[in-house]
Amino acid sequence: MSGEKRKYPRIKDANISLKVKSGDIDIITKSLDISASGIYCKVQKEIPVMSRIKSRLILPGGVTVETDGVVVREHPVIEGGRITHYDVAIFFDNVSARDREAILAYIKQKS
C-alpha cells in the first residue's frame, strides 16, 4: 500500500483530449490519468513546475471542461539517449463545480 491519500479518485485513461496553454506554449495532447483535482499528461515541450496553465479537456462523449491550473510535477522521458516528451502533472486550482462533477461522473462510469 502506498499510503497515498487523495481527495478524489484517479483513473488511468489515455482517451481524454486536452489543450494546454501556458505563455507561448499551446499544445494539444492526450491524458495519462485524471482525477477531479488534476490531470497527468505527456507534452512535447517542457512546461516548468509552477507554471500557470489554462486547459480545455474533452471527455469521451463530448463533454468539454475548462480549468485553470498549475504544473506541480514534470519530468523528461528519455528514450534512446534523447528526450522524447515530458510527463506533466497539472493541479486544477480553478474548476467550476459543474465541471468537477462532470469529471467525477466520467471517472465513476469508467471505474
Angle at 27 between CA 15 and CA 70, to 5 degrees: 90
Q: In sequence order, which residues have a C-beta less than 8 Å from that of residue 1 and are 6 or more positions away?
A: none
pLDDT for residue 79 is more than 70: yes
pLDDT at residue number 4? 57
Q: What are the domain boundaries of the chain?
A: 11-110
Q: State yes or no: pLDDT of 80 exceeds 70.
A: yes
The CATH number of the domain covering residues in 11-110: 2.40.10.220
The rounded mean pLDDT for the chain is 92
Q: What pLDDT was estimated at residue 5?
A: 64
Evaluate if residue 1 carries a pLDDT over 50: no
Contact predicate 89/40, CB 8 Å? yes
Please report, in angstroms and rounded to a whole number, the separation of the first and last CA atoms in the chain: 19
Whether residue 2 is predicted with pLDDT greater than 80 in this model: the reply is no
pLDDT tens profile 87-97: 999 999 999 99
Task: Pull the grid cell for residue 56.
Answer: 480545455
